[in-house]
Structure 1
């Protein structure tokens, strides 16, 4: 189970035109917005990645605006584990459970998850907050991750798992976000 004091969120490459043409882009963005807002209520740290931003463009405005005050980590490697700055920031945060979402499921999300597992992290992929250009590619990425021991979750499950109980102030705030 995800634990509030052990979880970090990694947002992978939701940028430029690609973010608009992936399968079910609108639902992806809505779910990522809910996830980010809910994680902020719970004070879960976020590491925000951008793949080759000079070529692919910036993160979608609806998401970047939620991460105001934070800077994205630019990378050229498909796996963020190959990025020195990402690994340094992950180490500083010091948490061993990684919630991962973004695009594309079968490339950067999968390769980052694989690298994190290889480095001893417990990884959960948020299935309703990842996408690829095709449904088939998304499924391949999810299957490959599951084969490595990555657990699957969804926005609501992840948030409620982190909250743990109803009736709290956090629960009430998150309920307003997800409903």
Structure 2
């Protein structure tokens, strides 16, 4: 597989919501790493799509990651790929870099749907979470077994930058130090 190219990437943030995150194992790290990726994406002109699962029950996206008002993609199906209009929000030429919760439910089902649709999918292991670590690990293993690449936040950021000569290098590197 080729490097993660910022001109072909879309950051997909799945269901990092206020009523869910307090019960996610290592939830603070998931929020922090997703925040790093979201900020880097915006600095490097990588589009960001945020989903919200049953927002009436789980609340909105956490304030640290809140998308522009009215831009979150609402869904009731666990896999976003099953939600009407989801693929309309994904440009055809973009690979998906995926973060969010829960790794073994909504992230897994979304990733499997993207793979089934022929999309290249990269899942950021240190930016996905579940209530139990073993569920997260099982979800990541199943995604990998079905063709998703499993990476870390730093891998994505440095591949998006490509070079220490990138004009935004210092700004972006500050996010991970």
* TM-score w.r.t. length of structure 1: 0.94
Alignment RMSD (CA, Å)? 1.1
Q: Which has the higher helix share?
A: 1
1:56, distance to aligned residue in structure 2 (A): 1.1
Summarize the Cα distance change of 1:79–1:98 in structure 2 as closer, same or farther, 3 Å threshold. same
Tell me the distance in 1 between the aligned counterparts of 2:118 and 2:112: 10
Distance 2:127 2:64 in 1: 14
1:95 is displaced (CA, Å) by 2.5
How far off is 1:148 after superposition? 0.4
5+ unaligned residues in a row in structure 2: which ranges? none
- Between the aligned partners of 1:15 and 1:80, the Cα distance in structure 2 is 15
Match of 2:176 in 1: 178
Contact preservation (8 Å) 1:5, 1:95? no
**For residues 37 and 70 of structure 1, what CA distance do their matches in structure 2 show?**
19
- Give the whole-Å Cα distance in 2 for the aligned partners of 1:61 and 1:139: 26
Compared CA separation, residues 154 and 70, structure 1 to 2 (3 A): farther
Per-residue displacement from partner, 1:4-31 (whole Å, max 9, x unpaired)?
2111111000112211210011111111
Q: Give the deviation of 1:173 after TM superposition.
A: 1.3
Residues 54, 69 of structure 1: alpha-carbon distance in 2 compared, 3 angstrom cutoff:
closer
Kept in 2, the 8 Å contact 1:110–1:145? The answer is yes
Residue deviations 1:124-165 (CA, integer Å, cap 9, x gap): 000000000000000110011001010011111101101110
TM-score (ref. length: structure 2): 0.95
Give the distance between the partners of 2:163 and 2:84, measured in 1 at CA. Answer: 37
Rounded to whole Å, the distance in 2 between the matches of 1:161 and 1:135 is: 27
C-alpha displacement of 1:70: 5.7
Which residue of structure 2 aligns with residue 34 of structure 1?
Answer: 36
